């Protein structure tokens, strides 16, 4: 068979050659160990938190090794495409400080020397390489229709044979030139299949950067590499794109592990160097006592939009994701509490083979820590940015009281043990709302976290009423606190802890209880930062107003 002639018959218009492409996309000049990798989303617009995770890892590999991180758009499946899908994905990733060295920008323009970076615009490359394979006798046209493959499949299932296009089921593998020509003249459409030279008994061994040594059954199937519409399925686009973009590490989901053998056969047939893989297991979460993968359908936290709406700061999410990416992150963070997160080097050997375990309470902890290290201005800016989107009322209060709000966020901040009260901006209002007149609106006893079991409301009211008569805006915390103790003594509370502990039954309570009563009367809350600082910030009139309101509600 004259394969060149066959190739020209199938692809009369294709003049681009493998040599042309090898020259157009030369090997990259890289320093030793530099990793060239890519993120290759379909433009569905949906950005899974697992994708952000994988991108953070891939970006870290590329940047730390002096390599390249590429964005490639895999849009050959037109059904999954949505308008603005690419833009949404890029914007989502940019928020997490993931920027690509090459790829497509938000306006759909290419940048980089190994483009174009959108698969639907690379058809000439796929056709050229399919033609090349036909011309060297490694691929052939298949005219079988859906009906034939359904029928074969039914036979294979019934006789418990392997499902696929191989052996006697590979009907078109040995067509003569004349038969092919006749089919084409009759207007029959064809796909291109790779001639498989292996079988299912053969095993291959692959070193995966994350999974380690994988032993897999070889591919036995004459797989389609170009569909009837001349668009490539994933396998062929993967080989052509990753080779000509000179990628040297494919980081992708582990659902592709069963196809590795097929992919490497395609690389081999094309005369490409085999590529290295790092297969990432999907993120897991606990459900009861078992782990399962985070599902786009079931779990709101699968979608990055969730983190935006809840108001998780970007730094908190990034810190958390690196935390679950590498088991040694926590140790690193302990040793370098103030280091920039970008200084951490992610390694494949410290990644989980079975999938990073994602857990919201842990994210909250990490995020609280991250926020506790922000200065008050940053808390203000980020919280306002969130509120402008998701809580307009709170946003306008923050804007109208900017200096005051920054003072509020400054309480106990910048100290060696800063407060860790919020994990995300949607908690700010409930954590700090009582500082703002506009938001502090108790109307009934339930709005006050008094310990009603220990102290009845008559006593509470008496204490509050008395405090109204003696309260003054003090400049010294110790003087202010001394007055609280005195107030307690008047109502039978101990002003000395040791004395109280020796004979608790002789007292109504101790001075801590009194402070707590005053705290609740002024803020509604049992837990707040330093009450003296709160009173100072609120100012004399507001404190008195609040005490009077508490007294009134206590008398109902
Ligand atoms: N478009 C593929 C996906 O979204 C990319 C897989 C890969 O990275 O090769 O699953
Ligand atoms: Zn066929």
Nearest CA to ligand 1 atom 4: 41
Mean pLDDT of 395-415: 95
Q: Which domains does the chain have, with CATH numbers?
A: 3-15+123-280 (3.40.50.620), 287-349+357-372 (1.10.1160), 440-555 (1.10.10.350)
CA 210 to ligand 1 center in whole angstroms: 17
Task: Express each pLDDT in 452-475 by its tens digit.
Answer: 999 999 999 999 999 999 999 988
Task: Express each pLDDT in 334-345 by its tens digit.
Answer: 999 999 999 999
CA 38 to ligand 1 center in whole angstroms: 10
Nearest CA to ligand 1 atom 5: 40
Query: Bridge-partner residues for 68, per DSSP?
Result: 36
Nearest CA to ligand 1 atom 3: 41
Mean pLDDT of 235-258: 97
Mean pLDDT of 342-362: 91
Position 170 scores a pLDDT of 98
CA 129 to ligand 1 center in whole angstroms: 20
Structure tokens at 108: 């759909």
Predicted confidence (pLDDT) at residue 352 exceeds the cutoff of 90 = no
Interstrand relation of 224-226 and 284-287 (parallel, antiparallel or unpaired) = unpaired
Nearest CA to ligand 1 atom 9: 252
Position 396 scores a pLDDT of 98
Task: Express each pLDDT in 283-293 by its tens digit.
Answer: 999 999 999 99
CA distance 164 to 153: 7
Task: Express each pLDDT in 192-208 by its tens digit.
Answer: 999 999 999 999 999 99
CA distance 257 to 175: 33
Q: Which of 37, 41, 54, 76 to mutate to test the pocket of ligand 1 (most atoms within 8 A of CB)?
A: 41
Position 320 scores a pLDDT of 96
Place of tokens 């509470």: 460
Ligand nearest, relative to CA of residue 166: 2
CA 219 to ligand 1 center in whole angstroms: 20
Name the residue among 259, 258, 278, 261 with its Cα closest to residue 269.
261
Position 106 scores a pLDDT of 92
CA distance 355 to 524: 44
Q: Check if the beta carbon of residue 42 is closer than 8 Å to that of residue 74.
A: yes
CA 182 to ligand 2 center in whole angstroms: 14
CA distance 30 to 18: 23
Nearest CA to ligand 1 atom 10: 41
| Residue-averaged pLDDT of the chain | 95
Q: For the chain, what percent of residues have pLDDT higher than 90?
A: 93
Predicted confidence (pLDDT) at residue 174 exceeds the cutoff of 70 = yes
Per-residue pLDDT band for 83 (boundaries 50, 70, 90) equals confident
Ligand nearest, relative to CA of residue 165: 2
CA 10 to ligand 2 center in whole angstroms: 15
Mean pLDDT of 112-116: 96
Position 460 scores a pLDDT of 97
CA 72 to ligand 1 center in whole angstroms: 9
Q: Which atom of ligand 1 is nearest to the CA of 252?
A: 8
Query: Bridge-partner residues for 341, per DSSP?
Result: none
Place of tokens 């690193």: 332
Q: Check if the beta carbon of residue 492 is closer than 8 Å to that of residue 485.
A: no
Task: Express each pLDDT in 295-348 by its tens digit.
Answer: 999 999 999 999 999 999 999 999 999 999 999 999 999 999 999 999 999 999
CA distance 508 to 115: 79
Q: Check if the beta carbon of residue 344 is closer than 8 Å to that of residue 332.
A: yes
Position 82 scores a pLDDT of 79
Q: Which of 71, 234, 262 to mutate to test the pocket of ligand 1 (most atoms within 8 A of CB)?
A: 234
Q: Which of 38, 42, 52, 100 to mutate to test the pocket of ligand 1 (most atoms within 8 A of CB)?
A: 42
Enumerate residues lining ligand 1, CB below 6 A: 40-42, 74, 238, 252-253
Count of all residues that appear for the chain in the document: 556
Interstrand relation of 509-510 and 493-494 (parallel, antiparallel or unpaired) = parallel
Mean pLDDT of 144-157: 96
CA 165 to ligand 2 center in whole angstroms: 8
Ligand nearest, relative to CA of residue 180: 2
Q: Check if the beta carbon of residue 102 is closer than 8 Å to that of residue 113.
A: yes
Nearest CA to ligand 1 atom 8: 252
Task: Express each pLDDT in 214-223 by its tens digit.
Answer: 999 999 999 9
CA 252 to ligand 1 center in whole angstroms: 6
Mean pLDDT of 485-499: 95
Q: For the chain, what percent of residues have pLDDT higher than 70?
A: 99
Query: Bridge-partner residues for 216, per DSSP?
Result: 204
Ligand nearest, relative to CA of residue 149: 2
Q: Which of 74, 245, 260, 277 to mutate to test the pocket of ligand 1 (most atoms within 8 A of CB)?
A: 74
Predicted confidence (pLDDT) at residue 81 exceeds the cutoff of 80 = no
Structure tokens at 407: 């003072």
Could you write out the DSSP letters of every residue in 292-307? EE--TTT-GGGBHHHH
Q: Which of 252, 258, 276, 278 to mutate to test the pocket of ligand 1 (most atoms within 8 A of CB)?
A: 252
Position 44 scores a pLDDT of 86
Mean pLDDT of 352-369: 93
Per-residue pLDDT band for 80 (boundaries 50, 70, 90) equals low
CA 226 to ligand 1 center in whole angstroms: 18
Q: Which of 76, 85, 247, 253 to mutate to test the pocket of ligand 1 (most atoms within 8 A of CB)?
A: 253
CA 13 to ligand 1 center in whole angstroms: 30
Q: Check residues 337 and 396 and name the one with the higher pLDDT.
A: 396
Ligand nearest, relative to CA of residue 173: 2
CA 40 to ligand 1 center in whole angstroms: 5
Report CA Rg, the chain. Answer: 34
CA distance 146 to 138: 23
């Amino acid at each position: 068979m004259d394969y060149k002639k066959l190739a020209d018959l199938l692809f009369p218009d294709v003049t681009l050659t493998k040599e042309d492409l090898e020259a157009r996309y030369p090997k990259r000049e890289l320093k030793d160990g530099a990793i060239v990798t890519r993120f290759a989303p379909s433009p569905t617009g949906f950005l899974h938190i697992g994708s952000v995770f994988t991108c953070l890892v891939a970006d870290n590999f590329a940047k730390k090794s002096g390599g390249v991180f590429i964005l490639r758009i895999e849009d050959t499946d037109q059904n999954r495409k949505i308008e603005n899908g690419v833009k949404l994905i890029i914007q989502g990733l940019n928020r997490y400080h993931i920027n690509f060295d090459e790829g497509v920008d938000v306006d759909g323009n290419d940048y980089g020397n190994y483009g174009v970076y959108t698969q639907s615009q690379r058809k000439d490359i796929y056709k050229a390489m399919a033609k090349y394979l036909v011309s060297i006798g490694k691929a052939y046209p298949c005219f079988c229709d859906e009906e034939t493959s359904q029928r074969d499949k039914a036979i294979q299932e019934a006789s418990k044979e392997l499902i696929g296009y191989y052996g006697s089921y590979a009907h078109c593998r040995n067509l003569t030139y004349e038969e092919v020509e006749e089919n084409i003249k009759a207007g029959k459409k064809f796909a291109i299949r790779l001639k498989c030279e292996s079988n299912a008994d053969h095993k291959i061994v692959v070193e995966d950067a994350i999974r380690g040594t994988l032993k897999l059954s070889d591919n036995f199937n004459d797989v389609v590499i170009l569909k009837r519409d001349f668009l490539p399925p994933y396998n062929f686009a993967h080989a052509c794109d990753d080779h000509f973009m000179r990628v040297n590490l494919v980081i992708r989901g582990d659902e592709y592990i069963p196809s590795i053998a097929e992919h490497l056969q395609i690389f081999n047939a094309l005369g490409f160097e085999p590529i290295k893989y790092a297969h990432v297991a999907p993120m897991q979460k606990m459900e009861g006592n078992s782990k399962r993968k985070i599902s786009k359908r079931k779990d709101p936290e699968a979608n990055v939009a969730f983190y935006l709406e809840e108001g998780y700061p970007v730094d908190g999410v990034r810190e958390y994701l690196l935390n679950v990416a590498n088991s040694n992150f926590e140790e690193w963070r302990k040793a370098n509490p103030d280091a920039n997160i970008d200084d951490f080097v992610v390694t494949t050997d410290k990644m989980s083979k079975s999938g990073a375990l994602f857990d919201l309470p842990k994210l909250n902890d990490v995020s609280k820590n991250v926020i506790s290290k922000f200065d008050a201005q940053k808390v203000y800016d980020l919280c306002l940015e969130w509120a402008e989107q998701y809580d307009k009322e709170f946003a306008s209060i923050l804007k109208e009281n900017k200096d005051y709000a920054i003072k509020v966020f400054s309480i106990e901040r910048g100290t060696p043990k800063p407060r860790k009260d919020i994990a995300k901006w949607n908690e700010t209002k409930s954590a700090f709302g009582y500082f703002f007149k506009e938001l502090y609106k108790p109307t009934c006893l339930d709005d006050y976290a008094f310990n009603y079991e220990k102290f009845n409301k008559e006593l509470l009211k008496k204490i509050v009423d008395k405090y109204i008569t003696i309260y003054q805006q003090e400049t010294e915390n110790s003087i202010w606190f001394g007055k609280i103790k005195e107030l307690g003594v008047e109502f039978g509370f101990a002003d000395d802890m040791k004395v109280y502990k020796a004979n608790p039954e002789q007292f109504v309570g101790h001075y801590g209880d009194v402070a707590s009563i005053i705290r609740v009367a002024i803020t509604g809350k049992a837990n707040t930062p330093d009450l003296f600082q709160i009173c100072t910030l609120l100012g004399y009139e507001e404190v008195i107003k609040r005490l009077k309101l508490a007294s009134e509600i206590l008398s109902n």
